[in-house]
Structure formats: C-alpha cells, structure tokens
C-alpha cells in the first residue's frame, strides 16, 4: 500500500501497513489474565510482531499496564485495594513487568527502556520537552520505550485515569501516526455486545460523534484487573485523533495480535481529522502566546527555510525573559517575524551562547546539551501555516 492510497478505502490493516511510528497499548487483563500471571507465550508472540514491524522501519513505543496486577500477587494483597496498597503493588509489580518485557525481547537483542509518566509530564511544556527528547533519543538508539503511569506517586487528582488515555498522550508526545489499543474485544460495537447480542461491529469510525460515545456506556470500573472500559478507549481515540494520530482497537487475547490486524482480522479504525504535522503546526504556530523573541541572521533564515533547526551560531539577540519550552517568535535583523517555535533553552542561556559554534557551547554553559536553540520539529515558519 502506498502513501498515496485512496483514504476512503483505508481500514485497520492498511493504516497499520503505512504507519511509521506506532504506539501499542497492552492492558492488564491481556498481559496477566484474570489470575495475575504473565501470559509469557502470548507476550513472546507480540515481541515477534513488534520486532517484525521494526525491521520494516516502523518505530514502536509500548504502553503497558499490569504493574498492579503483578504486584498484588507478589505482595500477597487480595480484595479491593486501598490507594496506598495499589501504589505499593505497582512499585513491586513494575519490576516484574519490565522484566517480563525484557525477557520477551531478548531473542531479538532489543533493549527495553522504562518510562514512567505522570500527567504533569505531558501537560507542562518543560517536562514535555524533556520527555519527548528522551523518547527520541531512545528510538534513535534502537531501544523499545516501555511506558506506564507512575502509579507510585500519582494521586487520584493527577492520574491520567487509565492507560488508554495515557497511551493517547504518549502517542501525542512522540507524534505517532497510529495508536493500537489491544483489547479483550475485537473493536467497537453499536452497543456493548455482552449486554446486547444484536450489537453490530463497526470497522471504521470517521468521526467520534455523541452517538459513538454513547455506544460505549460507562467505564468498566468493576473489572477484576484493569480499569478502562470501551469509553476510555474512545476517549483515547479522540485525544489521539486531535493530534493527527489514527487509532485501532483490536483483539489482544489472540497470539500475534499485530500480525492478525495486518492479515485483515476484525478491528475498529478511528480516522483522525488532521495529520500530526498540521495539528502540531496549529498548536505551536497558532495557539501558544510568544513569551519573547530570538533575532536571527540571514544565514539562519535560509537554513530554517531549508528545514534545519535553529543553531546558536545564527542567533544575533534575545528579547524578553522566557523559559525552556516557552514559545518564542523568530525575527530577522530587519524586524520581520518569520515564525514561531518552542525554545529549547532559557532566554539567559541563549544570551550566553548567541553566535557560538556548537562545539563551544559546553565551555560557555558549563554543561552539555543538544545544540539546537529551537529544534526543527518545534518550529513553524509563517510560510508553513
Ligand atoms: N460499544 C461497545 N463496543 C465494544 N465493547 C464494549 C462496548 N461498550 C462496552 N464494551 C465493553 O468494553 C469491554 C472492553 O473494555 P475493557 O474490558 O476495559 O478492555 P481491556 O481490558 O481490553 O482494556 C468489552 O469487553 C465490552 O464488554
Ligand atoms: N498503571 C496500572 C494500570 C492502569 C490501567 O489502565 O490498566 P488497564 O485498564 O488494564 O489498561 C498498572 O500498571 O497496573
């Protein structure tokens, strides 16, 4: 399937075939079963699928639940857990969870890298930039980022709510083009098929209408393990879609679940309303209020127009006081605003390194950092909008 494929014929399989960066969400029930024991053969089959996708050039990030389910077994906790018991279980279980994933990927010499996120990490721009840079570096180094919520410090006020939404935020953070949520069901139905046997499977959702949202009922809070329900999966698809990322809800209990999607097995595709690039352009170039200005030389103007990041060598001056992660306007020496981006440095740091070559930065700053003042992915030129 080429990238120029007619989108009206897109389904879960074709969307998966063209994905370049994929976030896969695995729930506790699929990974651990009802008894809280890791399904190792299944996990090995998923590892084979992920390894095959990576060999085809697709970058993969995994969001995995299961820490509480595994931890409660380890610590001998039973019944309904208090918040502090859940947090203790997740602390003990996260170790076992990461170990299970690392074991599954050992045959492919793929390193697992654990990232525990809290809502703050994706909502606050400075932490967002740090988290994104870490993901980017891990993917560049060929590691497989393994994400879970940082349950041990998350409180009810700051929780994402469930790992379906966490996965959508992770997809947004890494600018993924596809989110695959592996579920205990083969997609969305017109109503909950457990309660309504006449419910019909929906293979493609163009728009998440109130009717679609109503079909899911409420959250599945009473389930033994996990906490999501179909409502949280639709909410996740909505968050991802707003960032230009398509979503698939697919059956996760079967072995080789990703290969099953590629083979045309039943699943639901949620098509996004926009692309990741235009969602990002709208956010950086339109919604964020600039906190300052960076004046750049003509060489830098040319380099940015050619798709480069802004390096300190092209910086002439800095106006205002802004922080790392704030939006800044990029201005020519004649005063023309040519674009807007997220600053990778504090204003005062840029003042120290303005005009410097990249190999002089460590001596000027006293520490080592990526050289770009504004990374190309964090930059929107006026001609782009
Ligand atoms: N409209 C719907 N279509 C499909 N499943 C639904 C729908 N409404 C409610 N559900 C229920 O949601 C369940 C999936 O949510 P959940 O059990 O949390 O999944 P997982 O454990 O895979 O994260 C299904 O098994 C189904 O009973
Ligand atoms: N972070 C928690 C899982 C929370 C959650 O959303 O679970 P699930 O509904 O199984 O995806 C854990 O690792 O146990």
Q: For residue range 9-34, what is the model confidence (pLDDT) as tens digits?
A: 689 999 999 999 999 999 999 999 87
Q: How confident is the model at residue 274 (pLDDT cuts 50, 70, 90)?
A: confident
Residue 74: which CATH number? 3.40.1160.10
Residue 319: which CATH number? 2.30.130.10
- Which range is least confidently modeled, 57-61, 162-166, 184-188, 333-337? 162-166
The pLDDT assigned to 118 comes to 82
Q: Which of 23, 24, 25, 27 to mutate to test the pocket of ligand 2 (most atoms within 8 A of CB)?
A: 27
Residues 208 and 339 in one domain: no
pTM for this predicted structure = 0.84
β-bridge partners, 275: none
- Of 244, 274, 304, the residue at which a domain comes to its end is 274
Q: Which ligand is nearest to the CA of 147?
A: 2
Residues 78 and 35 in one domain: yes
**CA of 68 relative to ligand 2 center, distance in Å:** 7
Residues 70 and 160 in one domain: yes
Q: Whose CA is nearest to atom 10 of ligand 1?
A: 192
Residues 61 and 117 in one domain: yes
Does position 352 have pLDDT exceeding 70, yes or no?
A: yes
Q: Counting Cβ atoms within 10 Å, is residue 357 exposed (0-12), middle (13-18) or buried (19+)?
A: exposed
Kindly provide the b/e burial profile for residues 237-269, where b requires at least 16 CB atoms within 10 angstroms of the residue's own CB: bbbbbbbbbbbbbbbbeeebbbbbbbeebebbb
363's CB contacts (< 8 A; 6+ apart) are: none
Number of domains in the chain: 2
Q: How confident is the model at residue 377 (pLDDT cuts 50, 70, 90)?
A: confident
Q: State the angle between helix axes of 83-105 and 67-75 in degrees (0 to 180), rounded to the nearest 10.
A: 110
Q: Is 227 in the pocket of ligand 2 (CB under 6 A)?
A: yes
Atom of ligand 1 nearest to the CA of 225: 21
Residues 119 and 255 in one domain: yes
Q: For residue range 314-338, what is the model confidence (pLDDT) as tens digits?
A: 999 999 999 998 999 999 999 999 9
Determine if residue 321 is labeled as part of a ligand binding site. no
CB 118 within 8 A of CB 149: yes
Atom of ligand 2 nearest to the CA of 149: 1
The region, left, alpha or beta by phi > 0 then psi within -120 to 50, assigned to residue 248 is beta
Residues 255 and 320 in one domain: no
Residues 262 and 133 in one domain: yes
The average pLDDT across 207-222 equals 76
């Amino acid at each position: 399937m080429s990238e120029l494929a007619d989108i009206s014929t897109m389904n879960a399989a074709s969307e998966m075939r063209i994905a370049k960066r994929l976030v896969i969400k695995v729930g506790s029930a699929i990974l651990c079963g009802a008894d809280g024991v890791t399904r190792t053969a299944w996990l090995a089959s998923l590892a084979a699928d992920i390894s095959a996708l990576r060999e085809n050039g697709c970058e993969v990030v995994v969001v995995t639940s299961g820490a509480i389910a595994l931890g409660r077994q380890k610590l001998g906790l039973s019944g309904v857990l208090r918040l502090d018991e859940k947090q203790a279980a997740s602390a003990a279980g996260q170790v076992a969870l990461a170990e299970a994933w690392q074991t599954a990927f050992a045959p492919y010499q793929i390193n697992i890298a654990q990232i525990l996120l809290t809502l703050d990490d994706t909502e606050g721009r400075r932490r967002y930039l740090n988290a994104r840079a870490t993901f980017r570096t891990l993917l560049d180094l060929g590691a497989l980022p393994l994400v879970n919520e940082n349950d041990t410090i998350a409180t009810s006020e700051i929780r994402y709510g469930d790992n379906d939404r966490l996965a959508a935020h992770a997809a947004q953070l890494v600018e993924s083009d596809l989110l695959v949520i592996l579920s205990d069901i083969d997609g969305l139905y017109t109503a909950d098929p457990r309660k309504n046997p006449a419910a019909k499977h929906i293979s493609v959702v163009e728009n998440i209408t109130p009717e679609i949202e109503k079909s899911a009922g409420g959250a599945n809070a009473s389930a033994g393990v996990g906490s999501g329900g179909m409502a949280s999966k639709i909410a996740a698809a909505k968050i991802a879609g707003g960032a230009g990322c398509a979503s698939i809800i697919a059956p996760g209990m079967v072995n080789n679940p990703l290969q099953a999607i590629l083979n045309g097995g039943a699943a639901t595709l949620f098509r996004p309303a926009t692309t990741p690039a235009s969602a990002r352009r709208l956010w950086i170039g339109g919604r964020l209020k600039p906190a300052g200005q960076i004046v750049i030389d003509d060489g830098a103007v040319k380099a940015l127009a050619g798709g480069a990041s802004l390096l300190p060598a092209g910086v002439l001056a800095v106006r205002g006081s802004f922080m790392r992660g704030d939006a800044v306007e990029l201005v020519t020496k004649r005063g023309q605003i040519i674009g807007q981006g997220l600053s990778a440095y504090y204003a005062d740091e840029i003042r120290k390194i303005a005009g410097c070559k990249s190999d002089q930065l460590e001596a000027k700053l006293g520490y080592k950092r990526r050289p770009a003042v504004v990374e190309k992915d964090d930059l929107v030129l006026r001609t782009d909008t």
